[in-house]
Amino acid sequence: MDLTSMIDVCFLLIAFFIMVTEVSKAEVVEVFLPQASYAEEDVNPPDDRVIVNITRIGEVWIRGRNFGKPNDPDAKKDIELEFKNYAEGVPFNEETQASELTVLVRADAHVENRYVQCVQTLLVGAKVMKLHYSANNPSGDS
């Protein structure tokens, strides 16, 4: 029996899964998440959810791209445009006058609050109201 084509397909599948894994890792930047007593596990997140990482020094990372600090005027414009582009790609709820886009904010536990507030303001400006925040649950309870 000739298994050459089967081996070719297996190698193609392996290459595909390696590339998909690398893209998924690019969305998450290493941050020290704050601890919360009642943090719940993130089950079944929406496929179109955008992950926003805010590092200890206040830099905003979205899908592997560093936008800089959100209080810098140039970075602020870029971040705002990025949020608006993502919001346009999902349905708009006429009743709430807001986008159906869901955003997960992963802010470092030691970042100054002004950077998180600035990101929140930019999200509201893009009419994005579905925000989730990442935290560690030290006890492991949900």
Contact between 136 and 33 (Cβ < 8 Å): yes
User: In which residue ranges of the chain is pLDDT below 50?
Assistant: 142
Residues 6+ apart with CB under 8 A from 27: 51, 63, 64
Short-list 70, 73, 72, CA closest to 60: 70
pLDDT reported for residue 120: 94
Angstrom distance (rounded) from CA 119 to CA 104 = 12
pLDDT reported for residue 140: 54
Contact between 118 and 83 (Cβ < 8 Å): no
Tokens of 63: 């899908």
